[in-house]
Structures are given as C-alpha cells and as structure tokens.
C-alpha cells in the first residue's frame, strides 16, 4: 500500500527501519515449558521414620501380641520405608478394651466444650506439622506432593476444626432431641487418602463423644502412626483413640468384635458387603462408603475450557484412585469432538513422575496389586474394541506408574464403563438429550457422585434432582468440604460424612422426632 | 494489508473498504461503516451481531471459578535453577520496555532505548528486550536510537488510553506513528461500542486501525479491567482477532485493574480456539502491574501450558512493563553469581 504518511512531516531518521520490517523476529531462545521444568523435589529431611512401629493402644505405642510385621513401601521407588505391626485378634481385643475403659471412665461424661478443646488442638498441631505430614503421605502413598500439600492435609485439619465446633452444640444440631454418644466405634479406612480418611472418621466420632479403634490401610499406615504423636501432644486421654495397623484380617477382627458398638468402613464394595453380612442382626450400627463409577456430564453450552480442567481433575486427581472419581465422561454429541480434542491436548501436558516433585501432576499408583488391576481392565477395554489414547509421556523406570488414559467409542456394556477401575482411566460416552444423560448416568449399580457441566442454572437443578448419587457437583468436580455431607446410594454404601448429617451415625438421639 | 485468516473461514471485510486508498478518504468510509453497522443492527439486533460478525468462530463461555482455580494452580508451578534461568531470559527477550508518562522527554526515551539494548552493562549475555513502547510524539526519537538494532519501536496510538477520539483522528495518529518509524502499534478496543453491544462498530474500528497500521504489527488492548466479566474478555478477544489484530493485549496500565493471571489464561484460551478455527496465530501481550520476576514466569507458565512453548517468542508473546526489567536482572544475577547484587547495581 502507498505510505499514508506521504504528505506528513516525518521524523524517521536515516537508517531507521524502513518499510521492510522482518515479519518474524529472529531469536535464539531457551526452552521453557512443562517438558523442561527443572526438578523441584520437596525435601524429606523433616520426616523421621522408625524402623519398626508397634500399635497405639491405651495412649502408648505397644508391641503387637501377634508379633507379625509387614513392610510399607514407597510406591514411587519400591523401597521399604518401615515395618509396621500387623494387629491380630488379641491386639484388636486389647484396643477395644482400652477404648471401652476410656469411654466408661471419663470420655462419655467429658463436656462437649472440653472435647472441642482436644479437637481444636489436634487441628492446630496438624497445621503446624502439615509439611511433614504431606511429605510422609506422598512417600507412603505415591500421591503428588502438591495434592497432599494442598488438599489432603489442609482438609484433614479442616475436618477437625469443623467438628470441634459441633462438639458442644450437638443438642442444637437436631432440634427436639438430646444427642448422646454410642460407645466404642470401629473404623476401617482405605489407602487413597490415608490421613484425610482418618480425619473424616475420627473427628465426628470424637466430637460426638465416642471412643475409637481405627484400622489404617495395609499399604499406607505411616501418617496414621505419625498422627499418634499429634494425639499425644494434644493431651488426648489414653484409650480415646487407638490405632491398630494391619491387613485385611485386622480389619475383619475390628469389624467383628462384639465390643464395638458401631462400624464405619470406607473401601471396596465387595468388602463392604461382607461387613454388612457380618453385622446383620447384631444390632450394631454400620455406615459404608464404598466404590463408585461417577458420571461427569458435559452439556454443549458448558464453559468448555473449564470443563477440560474439571474432567482432568475428576479422573486424574490422585491417579484416579478416588471412590468418587468422574470415571465415566458423558458428553453431548454436538460438542464431543471439541471436548475430546481439548482433553487430549490437556492430557499431553500432564506431568507424570516423581510424586515428591512439586510440579508432578500424576504420581505413583499405590501398590503393585492396584497397578495390575488397572492394567488388566485397560487391556479389557482395548480387547472389547474401545479406542485407547495415552499421551507419550515417559514413565519412571522404577516404581508403579500408569499413564493418564482415555477411552473413546466406549459402549455402556464394556467392562471399563461398568466396573470401578480406581486408576487414571477415563471412558467417554455420548448422549443427545438431558433425558438420555440421566438414563446413562444412573445406569450403574453405584451411586456416589456425579458432575453436571452447563451454564444453564435450571438445567443444573433439573439434572441434580434426577441423579441417583449422594454428591452432585455443578461446574466443578472432586470438591470436598467438612460442612458438606459426603456419601452414597445403592452399592456405593450408606451414611454420610461431614456436615450435620455426618454427625448422625455417631449419635444416639433421645426423645426425638428424627 | 490485513492478514486474511487462512483456513476454511473467510473474514467479513465488507465494510472495510480502505484498500490501497490514502488517509484522506477515511472520513467518507466512516460514514459508510456507520451506515453498514446500522443496517446490521436492524437486521440482527445489536446483541445478535457478534456471532454473525465472527462467522461461527467459537465464543465458548468461561466459568470464573474454574478459570481462577486453573490460573492459581499454574501460578504454583515451581520454577527452579535451569528453568528459572530460561524463564528470566525469555522474560527479557519478550519484554516491551515501556514509558507512557506525560512527562516523558527525549532524554528519558534515549536512556530507555540504551537500557533496552544493553540492560546489563556488565553482562553481554543478557539479551536485548523485544521493543520499546512510547507515545507517538516520541516514536522518532526511539526509532533513531534503535535503528539497525533488533529492538523494535512500539507506539501507543488511537487516542490511548480511552480510545474515544474521533475515528479519523485515531487512524491518522496510527499512520503518523508508523510513518515516524513505529514497527508496532498498540491501540485500545472501543469499549464504549463493545459494552453497548455495537460489536460491528468495535470490529470495524479495529479493522480500520489494522489498515492504517499497514506494515506495523497491531496490538489491540482490551482493557480487561473495564470489561466486567471473563465472558466479555473472551468475546472481545475473538472480536479483536477476527478483525485482524496481530496481538491482543490485556491492559493500558492506566486504570486500577491491569493484567491478572486468570485474564491472561482466558485470553490465551481464546487465542488457542482462534488458531484452531481460523488457522492464524495471534500473539498475547500482558501489561500493567507486572513488577516481579516471579510474576513474569507465572505468565510464561500460563502461556507454555495453554498455548505451548512455541508461543514463548517475541512474535507471539510480550510483557509490557517499566519496572519489571530490574527485578528480572536482579534474579538473573543471583542465579548466575549467587547472592543478590547491591540494588544500585542495576541501571536506572
């Protein structure tokens, strides 16, 4: 084009860039991006581990009578971190006895305001030692440090804070009723959120005035054992909380013990059913938080870039080892291509590797057994004809890792669409109308959680009413808050944790119209 | 000429009839533009005009909570050692060293140009910045000082920062700045038209500015702090890109709210969608309130993980800043030599 400044005075001096400005700037630039982030490992020097751990009974660490020991392993390296005691029937008996004594001697008569004081102390001590807990959680369980640092430990502390507030207000929580404790509570927790699950179980039980026997998971006992230091530093009276580490047999002994008034279990549906059979007709109370196969439902009008983050957070958070993981993606057909292309692109930038590295998005699978199960189910997906996508990320040579995985062309009859995988594996199904979305979402024996993504408020409400799931997230996923009750329907269990509803399973209400 | 987006979509250019004409016919065309815009408004309604203008380009809604959360997660990336060195070098290389004060003088601009070329007199390894950004009045001074160097001259123009001068005056200001030696022109989006729903007017003005800028690269400032929502930021991004912007830019730095990570992320997502749909790579410039080295690499992380490391190039990414350079130099010095240098070591 002719220079529009022809008639204008110009101050462009001799030699100044003339009309031919290079289109591209030639630049020799350094690489910067997710593939070239320098290692940023969190230090482990804060964590002190004993070679061998006993059981926490009556306020003391005592050797196990079973004299059985088991190693706990760092899933990212395969190295043994420590050995812990596998509690036998006799050990569980001792622990229940200690809990019973503490309950009858003083804890049931301890005023709520005093119980609150202990809970507040525990919460504050957890916060003070949060980095130590986060590093240990990552070492023992394989989850990325950013998750244990930003989610597990802060939420665990938040649960103690929240329930400390309830402890002296139980009579006001349920109008017209007098609330009292149940007695001794037996709690069995899983390995995916070791400390957080301990907090979810302990905080409401203690706030309600019960004493506890807690059985941590076989592969992740260390943060629960570190918690015993916090309990002692908080001056919690001996016997109020007892921690009996061990394997499935220890859990079975805890559940079956006649001295336990209430059982709370979080874990697999198969074990949950077994526990229910054990307790049937015994009059002892039970809550179960079991598996899930959550639908994450994307409507065409949703904020698709935030949807992409929500999908990633829904299924790859904690390597997908989350009972409420959004493992079934239901996308409206009109946007399926866009969503999948955005998702694939996002998956390519996920950083898989050393869980202790502060930039790691996806860490190690918790155990060799779990890795086998995930691999086997992924294999079945391929064989049944679903289309597999995995980013070409290099996995560490040692330890148990699995790349983020996406299956397209999944039909509702495929195993990967029906069975809980408990790994970083997403199955995509499509739908055309809201009714079809509801039908497909509910087409599962589970009913723990669901996600709805749309910019239309009325559709959120319409969908939420029809979801057979205990938790329904709208335009977000995997959000937890101590004030919000969490729990399932159908094969995902019953009973709620968190909020006012979460107190109920630990209380006896008298003179009430429940 | 305005670059025509490649790919299956064609850019609506019906009202941009400047072609090779000189500056004197603009006023005539302005009337034509207004008439065309009225016609469109009557036909489609003012608010319906945007999708039509964008010819099916996606305007995906944005969820503020999710966006802020993602930006927060990216801000937490731990950038250490070699990665930090790379980030700091890139921050310098992608910087528009800016002075936009009423009190700017020839002397001030000359010293800024010297600093742009050789910001660390004792360390020749520190690269020059991308451009020096000044008011049109001082473009000649900067162009003289930077002639024959890799550092470009950028000028704000078009009644910066409000952008509400008469269109003819704005376009003349642009072409004058280019004539005076500006390689890049930073204009503002007409928020008055945009927020009132007169999308076609806002669109046409950007397109006309692109014509007026000719060979110079056009950066369109959205002034996101005035747009009121991320949805509006996304719409404005699409509108500016469709109208021919080479860069979209967050802020003027002249109002309270300047660049933020979520806003940069929102615009980067729009750029990604536009590149996919229209086949043209548009640059992103973040400006205003970026003062620390850490902030600068947080933006680099947002770009790298949203648009890909390819976008971390002065052709496609800029940081507009005045005081940032000194902190970046301080951190570079610390990284290379251990320990912080005396604060008076950096050149003012």
Q: For residue B269, list chain A residues with Cβ-Cβ distance below 8 A.
A: 305
Q: Which residues of A458-489 are buried (b: 16+ CB within 10 A; e: fewer)?
A: ebbeebeebbbbbbbbbbbbbebebeebbbbb
Residue A440 · residue A429 · CB < 8 Å? yes
Task: Identify whether A28 is part of a domain.
Answer: no
Q: Are residues A227 and A268 in the same domain?
A: yes
Chain segment A48-59, per-residue pLDDT in tens: 999 999 999 999
User: What is the rounded CA–CA span in Å between residue B112 and residue A494?
Assistant: 68
User: How many domains does one find in chain A?
Assistant: 2
A98 and A148, same domain (yes or no): yes
What is the domain-level CATH number for residue A359? 3.40.309.10
- B216 close to B246: Cβ distance less than 8 angstroms: no
To the nearest whole Å, the CA of B21 is away from the closest chain A CA by 8
Q: Of A223, A216, A199, whose CA–CA distance to A133 is shortest?
A: A223
Asked, for residue A27, whether it belongs to a domain, the answer is no
Res A407 pLDDT > 50? yes
Residue A5 has pLDDT above 70, yes or no: no
Average of pLDDT values for B225-241?
97
Q: CA of B229 to nearest chain A CA: how many angstroms apart?
A: 14
What residue numbers bound the domain in which A308 lies?
295-482
Which residue of A lies nearest to B86 if distances are taken between CA atoms? Answer: A30
**Separation CA A330–CA A443 (nearest Å):** 12
- Domain borders along chain B are 25-57+81-345
Q: Is A273 on the interface with B (CB under 8 A)?
A: no
Residue A20 lies in a domain: no
Asked whether residue A198 falls in the same domain as residue A308, the answer is: no
A1 to B214: CB separation less than 8 angstroms, yes or no: yes
Same domain for A316 and A448, yes or no, is yes
Residue A268: band (very low, low, confident or very high) from pLDDT cuts 50, 70, 90: very high
Residues of A in contact with B309 (CB under 8 A): 31-33, 35-36
Which chain A residues in 33-92 lie under 8 Å from chain B, judged by CB atoms?
A: 33-40
B82 CB neighbours in chain A (<8 A) are 36, 38
Average pLDDT, chain B: 87
The answer to whether residues A345 and A478 belong to one domain is: yes
Q: How far apart are CA B56 and CA A66, in angstroms?
A: 71
B249 catalytically annotated: yes
**Nearest residue of A to residue B85 by CA position?**
A30
Task: Name the closest residue on chain B to residue A341, using Cα atoms.
Answer: B276
pLDDT reported for residue A514: 46
| Residue A166 belongs to domain with CATH number | 3.40.605.10
- pLDDT tens-place string over residues A64-102: 999 999 999 999 999 999 999 999 999 999 999 999 999
Q: What pLDDT is stored for residue B6 in this prediction?
A: 42
Task: At B322, list the tokens.
Answer: 């005045």
Asked if A508 contacts A179 with a C-beta cutoff of 8 angstroms, the reply is yes
Residue from the list B1, B147, B312 with its beta carbon closest to the beta carbon of A29? B312
The token duo for A325 is 């993981």
- In A323-429, alpha helices (H): 336-348, 368-383, 415-418
The count of other CB atoms within 10 Å of the CB of residue A45 is 7
With left for phi above 0 and alpha for psi between -120 and 50, is residue A339 left, alpha or beta?
A: alpha
In a domain? residue A462:
yes
Contact residues, chain B, for A24 at CB < 8 Å? 315
Contacts of B21 (CB under 8 A, 6+ apart): none
Of residues B67, B82, B315, nearest to A306 (C-beta): B67
**In chain B, pLDDT over 70 holds for what percent of residues?**
85
Which two structure tokens, joined as six digits, stand for B219? Answer: 């950066």
Q: How far apart are CA A183 and CA A169, in angstroms?
A: 19
Q: Is there a domain that residue A25 lies in?
A: no
- A10 and B180: CB-CB below 8 Å? yes
User: Do residues A273 and A339 share a domain?
Assistant: no
B61·A21 Cβ contact <8 A: no
What was the pLDDT predicted at A269? 96
**A193 and A333 co-located in one domain:** no
pLDDT at A280 over 70: yes
Within-domain flag for A14: no
Whether the CB of A457 is below 8 Å from some CB of chain B: the reply is no
Confidence label for A356 from pLDDT (cuts 50, 70 and 90): very high
Residue A262 lies in a domain: yes
Q: Could you give the ipTM of this predicted complex?
A: 0.92
Residue B187 has pLDDT above 90, yes or no: yes
Mean pLDDT, range A346-351, rounded to an integer: 96
CATH topology of domain B25-57+81-345: TIM Barrel (3.20.20)
* Number of Cα atoms under 13 Å in the Cβ half of residue B304: 26
- The separation between the first and the last C-alpha atoms of chain A, rounded to the nearest angstrom, is 82
Tell whether A110 is covered by a domain: yes
Nearest to A204 by CA among A176, A165, A243: A165
Do A363 and A251 have their domain in common?
A: no
Q: What is the mean pLDDT of chain A?
A: 94
Q: Which residues from chain B sit within 8 angstroms of residue A307, using beta carbons?
A: 66
Q: Is the pLDDT of residue A23 over 80?
A: no
* B contact test, residue of A9, A33, A350 with most B CBs within 10 A: A33
Catalytic residue from among A218, A323, A497, A508:
A323
Q: A393 an active-site residue?
A: no
Quick one: CA dihedral A102, A104, A106, A109, positive or negative? Answer: positive
At residue A99, the 3 state secondary structure works out as helix
Residue B220 has pLDDT above 50, yes or no: yes
Helix (H, G, I), strand (E, B) or coil at A387: strand
One domain for residues A326 and A269: no
pLDDT computed for residue A15 by the predictor: 42
Q: Are residues A360 and A330 in the same domain?
A: yes
Residue A301 shares a structural domain with residue A285: no
3-state secondary structure of B28: helix
* Residues A441, A467 within the same domain: yes
Nearest chain A residue (CA) to B130: A25
Q: Supply A147's token pair.
A: 């998750």
């Amino acid at each position: 084009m002719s220079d529009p400044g022809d008639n204008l005075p110009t101050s462009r001096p001799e030699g100044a860039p003339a009309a031919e400005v290079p289109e591209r700037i030639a630049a020799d630039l350094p690489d910067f991006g997710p593939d070239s982030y320098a290692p940023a490992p969190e230090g482990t020097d804060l964590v002190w581990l004993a070679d061998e751990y006993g059981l926490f009974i009556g306020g003391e660490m005592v050797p196990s009578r079973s004299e059985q020991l088991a190693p706990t392993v760092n899933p990212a390296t395969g190295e043994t971190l420590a050995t812990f005691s596998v509690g036998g029937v006799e050990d569980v008996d001792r622990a229940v006895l200690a809990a019973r004594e503490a309950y009858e001697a003083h804890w049931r008569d301890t005023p709520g305001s005093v119980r609150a004081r202990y809970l507040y102390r525990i919460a504050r001590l957890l916060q003070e030692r949060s980095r130590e807990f986060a590093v240990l959680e990552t070492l023992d369980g394989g989850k990325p440090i950013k998750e244990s640092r930003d989610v597990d430990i802060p939420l665990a502390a938040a649960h103690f804070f929240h329930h400390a507030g309830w402890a002296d207000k139980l009579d006001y929580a349920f109008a017209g009723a007098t609330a009292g404790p149940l007695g001794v509570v037996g709690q069995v927790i899983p390995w995916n959120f070791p400390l957080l699950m301990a907090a979810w179980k302990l905080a409401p039980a203690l706030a309600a005035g019960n004493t506890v026997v807690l059985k941590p998971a076989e592969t992740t006992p260390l943060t629960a054992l570190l918690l015993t230091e916090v309990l002692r530093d908080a001056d919690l009276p001996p016997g109020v909380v007892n921690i009996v580490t061990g394997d499935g047999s220890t859990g079975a002994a805890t559940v079956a013990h006649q001295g336990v008034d209430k059982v709370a279990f979080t874990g697999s549906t198969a074990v949950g059913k077994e526990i229910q059979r054990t307790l049937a007709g015994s009059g002892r109370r039970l809550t179960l938080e079991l598996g899930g196969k959550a639908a994450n439902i994307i409507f065409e009008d949703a904020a698709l870039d935030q949807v992409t983050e929500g999908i990633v957070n829904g299924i790859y958070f904690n390597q997908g080892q989350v009972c409420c993981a959004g493992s079934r993606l239901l996308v409206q057909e009109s946007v399926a291509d866009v969503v999948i292309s955005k998702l694939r692109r996002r998956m390519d930038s996920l950083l898989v590797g050393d869980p202790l590295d502060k930039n790691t998005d996806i860490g190690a699978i918790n155990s060799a057994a779990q890795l086998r199960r995930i691999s086997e189910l992924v294999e079945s997906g391929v064989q049944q004809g679903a289309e597999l996508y995995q980013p070409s990320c290099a996995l560490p040579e040692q330890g148990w890792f699995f790349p983020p995985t996406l299956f397209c062309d999944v039909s509702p009859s495929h195993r990967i669409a029906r069975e809980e995988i408990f790994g970083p594996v997403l199955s995509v199904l499509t739908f055309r109308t809201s009714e079809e979305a509801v039908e497909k979402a509910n087409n599962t024996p589970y009913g723990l959680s669901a996600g709805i993504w749309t910019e239309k408020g009325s559709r959120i409400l319409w969908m939420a009413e029809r979801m057979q799931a205990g938790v329904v997230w709208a335009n977000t996923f995997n959000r937890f808050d101590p004030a919000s009750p969490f729990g399932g329907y159908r094969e995902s269990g019953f009973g709620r944790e968190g909020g006012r509803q979460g107190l109920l399973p630990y209380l006896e209400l008298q003179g009430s119209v429940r | 000429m305005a670059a025509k987006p490649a790919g299956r979509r064609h850019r609506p250019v019906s009202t941009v009839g400047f072609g090779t004409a000189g500056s004197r016919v603009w006023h005539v065309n302005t009337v034509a533009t207004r008439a065309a815009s009225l016609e469109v408004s009557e036909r489609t309604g003012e608010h319906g005009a945007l999708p039509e203008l964008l010819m099916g380009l996606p305007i995906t809604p944005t969820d503020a909570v999710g966006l802020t959360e993602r930006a927060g997660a990216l801000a937490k990336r731990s950038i250490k050692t070699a990665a930090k060195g790379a980030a700091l070098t890139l921050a310098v290389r992608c910087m528009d060293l800016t002075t936009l004060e009423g009190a700017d003088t020839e002397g001030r601009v000359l010293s800024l140009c010297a600093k742009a070329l050789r910001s660390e007199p004792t360390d020749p390894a520190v690269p020059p910045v991308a451009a020096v950004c000044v008011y049109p009045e001082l473009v000649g001074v900067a162009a003289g000082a930077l002639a024959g160097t890799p550092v470009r001259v950028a000028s704000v123009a078009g009644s910066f920062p409000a952008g509400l001068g008469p269109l003819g005056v704005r376009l003349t200001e642009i072409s004058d700045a280019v004539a005076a030696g500006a390689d890049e022109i930073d204009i503002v989006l007409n928020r008055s038209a945009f927020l009132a729903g007169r999308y076609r007017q806002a669109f046409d003005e950007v397109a006309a500015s692109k014509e007026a800028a000719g060979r110079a690269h056009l950066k369109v400032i959205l002034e996101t702090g005035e747009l009121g929502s991320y949805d509006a930021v996304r719409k404005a991004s699409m509108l500016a890109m469709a109208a021919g912007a080479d860069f979209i830019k967050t802020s003027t730095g002249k109002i309270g709210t300047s660049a933020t990570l979520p806003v940069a992320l929102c615009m980067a997502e729009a750029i990604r969608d536009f590149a996919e749909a229209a086949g043209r790579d548009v640059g992103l410039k973040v400006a205003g309130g970026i003062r620390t080295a850490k902030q600068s690499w947080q933006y680099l992380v947002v770009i790298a993980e949203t648009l890909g490391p390819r976008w971390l190039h002065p052709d496609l990414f800029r940081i507009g800043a005045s005081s940032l350079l000194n902190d970046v130099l301080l951190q570079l010095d610390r990284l290379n030599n251990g320990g912080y240098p005396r604060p008076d070591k950096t050149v003012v």
